[in-house]
Amino acid sequence: MIKVGQGFDVHQLVNGRKCIIGGVDIPFSKGLDGHSDADVLLHAISDAILGAAALGDIGKHFPNTDPLIKDINSREILKKVISLLQQKKYSIVNIDATVICELPKLTPYIDQIKKNIASDCNIDIDRINVKATTTETLGFTGRGEGIAAQAICLIESN
């Protein structure tokens, strides 16, 4: 059986935080605000995987009210999601994701981001696609107020 899930996440850009996207610390004057490291891309991917497996969302498994996971590295979230997926005897066929922001420019970091995701998901890098796009200065992403990400994941039963 094959199943598909989609994920979406948004985090506000603020001063005094790191800008972590896809597990990579992107040099930028602002960072993403959140209870965790606010890795918008890994959150969207995690939600896509959880959705495909009918396991809810990351808010269910990693609530922002839990002080024990304050500032958690989102790569750890993704690894735990993969463990949940494996418990249900599913594996990832592929992931396709898009980060939406004007700045920072992500092209120089895409290869490392893909390597991180492939490693954390225990799959070949050729099953991962990550894109970056802008909104041509429109909306909150265009004004530099935040970054959004969306992802889709196809899984199959083992």
How far is residue 9 from each of residues 2, 88, 125, 146, measured CA to CA in Å? Answer: 24, 24, 23, 11
3-state secondary structure of 2: strand
Query: What residues contact residue 101 under an 8 Å CB cut-off, 6+ apart?
Result: 132, 134, 141, 144, 146, 147, 148
- Residue 59 assigned to a binding site: yes
Asked if 144 contacts 112 with a C-beta cutoff of 8 angstroms, the reply is: no
- Residue 62 assigned to a binding site: yes
What predicted TM-score, i.e. pTM, was given to this entire model? 0.97
- Residue 98 assigned to a binding site: no
- Residue 37 assigned to a binding site: no
Which pLDDT tens digit goes with each residue over 62-83? 999 999 999 999 999 999 999 9
Within 13 Å of residue 97, how many CA atoms lie on the same side as its CB?
31
Q: What is the pLDDT of residue 47?
A: 98
- Residue 35 assigned to a binding site: yes
pLDDT < 70 positions in the chain: none
In whole angstroms, what is the distance from residue 34 CA to residue 122 CA?
26
